[in-house]
Structure 1
Amino acid sequence: MNSHPPTPPARGALSRRGLLRGGLAAGGLGLVAGASGCGSPLGAGLVGSQLDPGTVTFWNLFGGGDGARLQTMLDKYVVDTGPDSLQAATFAWGNPYYTKVSLATIGDQPPDVAVAHLTRAANLAQAGLLTPITEEMLGTVGLTSTDFNQKVWAAQKVNGQDWTVPLDTHPFVMFYNSEVCEKAGLLDGDGKLKPIQGVEAWEAALTAAKQATGGLGLSVANVNEFATPWRFFQTLYSQQEGATDFLSGAGTEITFNEDLAAKTLEYIQKLANDGLISKAADYAGSQTDMFTGKSAFYLQGEWEITTAQGIKDLKFGMVPVPTIFDKPAAQADSHTFVLPKMERTEAQVKRAMGFIKSMLDQSMTWAAGGHVPAYLPTLDSSEYESLEPQADYASAADVAVYDAPAWYSGSGSNFENIVGAQIGLVQQGLSSPKAAISSIRSQLQSYASTANPL
C-alpha cells in the first residue's frame, strides 16, 4: 500500500492564481477544456462555448447512482424552463474536479453554479473564489436560511458569511443484514435492529453476530481504501469526550488529541484482533461480507444503499453508527451548491438561485440514493418520514462531524489519504497506533507548513 501522498508544493512555489494571472490564463483554460475525460457537454470556462444569455451553466462531480438521479433532476429543470435553459458538465470526482473549478474561476470563466463538498467549499471561499450567499439572494426564490438543517448551515459558514446552499448530508452509517441479525437475536418485534449503546452492548452485539455468521460481526474496508478507515476512526474518536479538531488555524496547526487518538486506534485494532470486525477487506469485499451473510453489520456511507437494494433477496436495514462511547457522532460531509465568483446581474443571480431551488424541490429524488436532505420542507415531510430505510438513519445528520477545514483536507483530499492509510495499517495489524500517529503527524506537517496554493 502506498501511504505517501504527492509531495506538496514548496512554500515559495508559484500558485495557480499567480500562474494564471501572470499571463497564462489561456493555457490554464485549455487544460480545463481538455481534461474532463468523460464526454460531457462543454460547460462554462470551456473553449468554444457559445451560450444563450438565459442558459445556466452547471458543473458537478456525480457519477453512478448519484449521477443518474441528478440527470433526472436536470431533465425536469429543462422541461420546466426550456430546452436552452441549462448546460451541465460532469467531471472526475475529487481533486481533479476542484482544480478545474478553481482554474476556471481564476481565469474568469466559471460556471454559474457548481457542486462542492462542504469540506472543500471552505477553501474555495477563503481563496476568494466564491460569491457569498445572502438572505436577499435566497429570498429571490422564496428561500431563507431557516429552510435548512441548522447543523449543516452552521458548518458551511466561513468568517461569519454563508457560502453554500446545502443539498444534503451524507453520514457514515451502519448497514445490517436482517436475516443474520434475527438469527443473532438482535431484532425487535418489528424486524428493526434493537438499540445498541455503550461499549458493552456494542461488543455483545458484535459477538452475537459473529456467532451467527461463523465469520465476522462487522465489516469495514481498510485495504486499498483510505476514506473509509478515516470515517471509521473519526466517528469513534468524535464520540469521546476530549476529542479535539484534527487541524486548526485553517490547517496550519495539527491539534488532534494524541492520547485519545491512540486509544481509538488501539480499540479498532483490538476489535480486529478479536475477529469482531474485518482485519483486512477492500471496499467491495467489505460490503459483500454483509450482503452474503458473512458479517451482520457493514459500515460505509449511506450512498451504498443503491448497491444493497440491487442485491436480490437481500433483507437489510440501516441505522446511525451506535453511540459506543460518550456521545453520538458520525463522520460526514454534505453536497452543496456554490456560486463561483463572477460579476452577476440581478437576473443572473435569480436564474442561478432558481436552478438551485429546482434541485432542492426535487430532494426526494435525491434522497432515494441515501443522502439525507438538508432542505427541511423535504426532510420534515411525511413522504420522507415514510421512506425506509432512509428515515431510520436520518438523525445521523444532526450529529455530523465534518473534516477540519484546510486547503489539503475534505472529501477525496490528501488529508484523508494520509490519515486513512495509517489507520488502515493499524486495523490490519501492520502498524502500531504509536507508529501510525507519528507517521500521520510527520506527513501532515509538510502540508500544514505549506502556504495555500490558491
Structure 2
Amino acid sequence: MRPRDTRRPVPAPALGRRAFLAGGLAAAGTALAGCGPADTVLSGRQRLRQWNLFTGGDGARMVEMHDAYRKQHPGIDFQPSTFQWGNPYYTKFAMGAAGGRAFDIATLHVSRLRGLGVDTLIAPVPTDLLARHGITRDTVQHSTWDKCTIGGELYAIPLDTHLVVTYFNRDACEKAGVLDADGNLVDTSGEEEFLDVCAAVKEATGKYGVVMDTTHAWRQFWSLYRQLGGEFKLEGELGIDDDKALRALDFLRRISQSGLAPEASDGAATPANFQNGIAGLMISGNWELPTLKDAGMDFGMRAFPDIFGAELGQGDSHCFVLPVRREPDEDAVAAAVEYAAWMLKNSLTWAGGGHTPAYLPVTRSPEYAALEPQSGYRKAAANVQFDPQAWFSGSAAQLQAQASAVFTGVHTGAVTPETALRRFKHAAQKLIDTPAPV
C-alpha cells in the first residue's frame, strides 16, 4: 500500500480526555515554537528543526554527525535540539507534536510508536520520496523496518538497533579457561553450560562471575521469556504464559542467590563492577561500549547467551519520525526525509557508540567488519526482541518500570518468582484497564 500524501492539511490532533497532555496542550506546543517569520524569509535557507534525546557518548556522536551534515548542506538552516532522555523527552515530544510547529523531524524509540499517536501526532513517511534517496525495505534491517510499519504504512525510519548483549573481560576469561582459540567467549547452550562458565569466571575473579543491572530486570526477563517462546497479550485480559514466566524468573533468582552474580547492581554500578574486575562477564546494553573503551579495557562482546534455546536479547531501535502537519509544507518534509536518509548512510560514525546501524550497506561494509568489538554481535540485531506492543510498553514506558520494580526483588531474594509474577500481572492488568492518553 502506498502511503498517503502526508503534506496535505489535516485536522488538529484529537487527544483523549485522560491524556497527560490534556488542557491547552496545543497552545503549549505552539508556544514552544514561537511565532517567528517564515522559514526562508530571513536566511534564504530551508529551516530544518530536529529534536533528539541523545546525551553522553551518543550525544557526542550525534553532534559529530550533525557537524558533517551541516558542512554538506549549506542550503539548510539546521536547528537540532537535545532534551532529557526518557519521560521528559516523550512528554515534550507529545506537546510539540500536538502544537504542530515544534519540529520537522524527531527521534523516537520504535517501541513507543503506537503509544505516541500514529496519525494523531506522527505522520506516515512518504516512502516514494525516501526511496529516491536509496532507502527502502531492501536496504534496511527487515525486522526493524517491519516494526516501523503499521497498517501497511511506514511511520518511522529506523536508524539502528540496540539490545542487551554479553560483555566479557578477556583477562579474566582467559584465566578462567573460557575463551576459544580466537580469544572469544566460548559458545554455551542451556542453563547449566552458562552457569558453569559463570562459576569458572567467578573463581578467576574471586568475587562474581557475571554482573547485570538488577534495577532494570525487565531486560533480562523479556530476553529469557522470549527464548522460551513466551508471548504477551496486552489488551482486554492480560495474556501471559505463567510457566515460561516463572522459569525465566527462577533463572534470575538462581544466578543471584547462588552467588554467581550480585544480588543488587544498578545502572551505574553495573559497568563499574565489570570495569573494576569484580565480575568477568556483564549482561547489559550495547550502549555501554564507549565507556569501557574509554577506560582502556580489553574486552569482547557477543549476543545475549543461549539459556533456553536461542541467543535472543531484548532491545529496541532509534528511529526518525515526521509530525502530523496542520498546513502542508512540502519543502520541510523533503528536507526532513533527505536528512534521515543522510544519517542512515553515514551511520558508521553512529556505530562507534555500540548501536548496530539499520542501514545494511553499512553493516555489510569492510569498515564495519573491522570495528571491534561491534562486529562480534552484529548478527544479533536481526533477532532483537522488541517489547510487546501497547501504549504503555517500550523504552522508558510504564510496563518496563512496573516489571523492573517487582522483578528486582527476585534477584535480592526479597520475593519468590511466584510472588513477583503475581504482582507483575496485577500491575500489568491495571495498565491494560487504563485508557490510552493519545
Note whether the superposition's TM-score is higher than 0.5: yes
SS at match of 2:165: strand
Map 1:17-36 onto structure 2 (within 5 A): 19-20=23-24, 25-27=26-28, 29-30=30-31, 33=32
Cα distance in 1, alignment partners of residues 97 and 28 from structure 2: 14
Native 8 Å contact 1:170 1:371 kept in 2 = yes
Structure 1 regions of 5+ residues with no counterpart? 1-10, 34-44
Map 1:171-250 onto structure 2 (within 5 A): 171-222=163-214, 225=215, 228-241=216-229, 243-245=230-232, 247-249=233-235
Q: Residue type matched to 2:231 in 1?
A: T
User: Which deviates more, 332-341 or 268-277?
Assistant: 268-277
SS at match of 1:330: coil
SS at match of 1:347: helix
Native 8 Å contact 1:323 1:329 kept in 2 = yes
Aligned to 1:92: 84
What is the CA-CA distance between 1:110 and the residue it aligns to? 3.5
Name the CA shift for 1:388/1:27 in 2 (closer, same or farther; >3 Å). closer
SS at match of 1:193: coil
Cα distance in 2, alignment partners of residues 292 and 147 from structure 1: 40
Number of residue pairs aligned between Structure 1 and Structure 2? 419
Name the CA shift for 1:49/1:347 in 2 (closer, same or farther; >3 Å). closer
Matched, 1:15 2:2: no
SS at match of 1:319: strand
Aligned to 2:434: 450
Cα distance in 2, alignment partners of residues 361 and 201 from structure 1: 40
Cα distance in 2, alignment partners of residues 12 and 301 from structure 1: 34
Deviations 1:306-339 (A, max 9, x none): 1101113x21111101211122311000000111
Matched, 1:429 2:422: no
Cα distance in 2, alignment partners of residues 12 and 26 from structure 1: 16
Native 8 Å contact 1:140 1:353 kept in 2 = no
SS at match of 1:339: strand
Deviations 1:387-408 (A, max 9, x none): 1100101111111110112221
Native 8 Å contact 1:16 1:103 kept in 2 = no
Q: Residue type matched to 2:227 in 1?
A: Q
Aligned to 1:413: 397
Q: Residue type matched to 2:173 in 1?
A: C
> Residue 359 of structure 1 is aligned with which of 343, 349, 373?
343
Cα distance in 2, alignment partners of residues 176 and 326 from structure 1: 21
Cα distance in 2, alignment partners of residues 179 and 95 from structure 1: 39
Cα distance in 2, alignment partners of residues 410 and 49 from structure 1: 37
What is the CA-CA distance between 1:192 and the residue it aligns to? 1.5
Map 1:73-152 onto structure 2 (within 5 A): 73-82=65-74, 85-126=77-118, 128-152=120-144
Aligned to 2:246: 262
Native 8 Å contact 1:180 1:213 kept in 2 = yes
Aligned to 2:303: 320
Name the CA shift for 1:395/1:128 in 2 (closer, same or farther; >3 Å). same
Aligned to 1:280: 264
Aligned to 1:39: none
Cα distance in 2, alignment partners of residues 142 and 268 from structure 1: 44
Cα distance in 1, alignment partners of residues 16 and 100 from structure 2: 25
Native 8 Å contact 1:125 1:158 kept in 2 = no
Q: Residue type matched to 2:26 in 1?
A: A
Cα distance in 2, alignment partners of residues 237 and 248 from structure 1: 15
Deviations 1:155-181 (A, max 9, x none): 222222211110000010011110000
What is the CA-CA distance between 1:427 and the residue it aligns to? 0.7
TM-score by length of 1: 0.88
Q: Residue type matched to 1:441 in 2?
A: K
Native 8 Å contact 1:138 1:145 kept in 2 = no
Aligned to 1:337: 320
What is the CA-CA distance between 1:151 and the residue it aligns to? 1.1
Q: Residue type matched to 1:300 in 2?
A: S
Cα distance in 1, alignment partners of residues 118 and 341 from structure 2: 25
Native 8 Å contact 2:28 2:99 kept in 1 = no
What is the CA-CA distance between 1:109 and the residue it aligns to? 1.6
What is the CA-CA distance between 1:340 and the residue it aligns to? 1.1
Q: Residue type matched to 1:215 in 2?
A: K
Provide the identity percentage. Answer: 34
Native 8 Å contact 2:16 2:22 kept in 1 = no
What is the CA-CA distance between 1:425 and the residue it aligns to? 1.0
Cα distance in 2, alignment partners of residues 401 and 352 from structure 1: 29
User: Which deviates more, 438-447 or 418-427?
Assistant: 438-447
Native 8 Å contact 2:304 2:313 kept in 1 = yes
User: Which deviates more, 140-149 or 385-394?
Assistant: 140-149
Name the CA shift for 1:49/1:204 in 2 (closer, same or farther; >3 Å). farther
Cα distance in 2, alignment partners of residues 383 and 370 from structure 1: 14
What is the CA-CA distance between 1:117 and the residue it aligns to? 0.3
What is the CA-CA distance between 1:211 and the residue it aligns to? 1.1
Q: Residue type matched to 1:323 in 2?
A: D
What is the CA-CA distance between 1:90 and the residue it aligns to? 0.7
TM-score by length of 2: 0.91
Aligned to 1:397: 381
Cα distance in 1, alignment partners of residues 76 and 118 from structure 2: 33
User: Which deviates more, 59-68 or 135-144?
Assistant: 135-144
Cα distance in 2, alignment partners of residues 212 and 50 from structure 1: 65
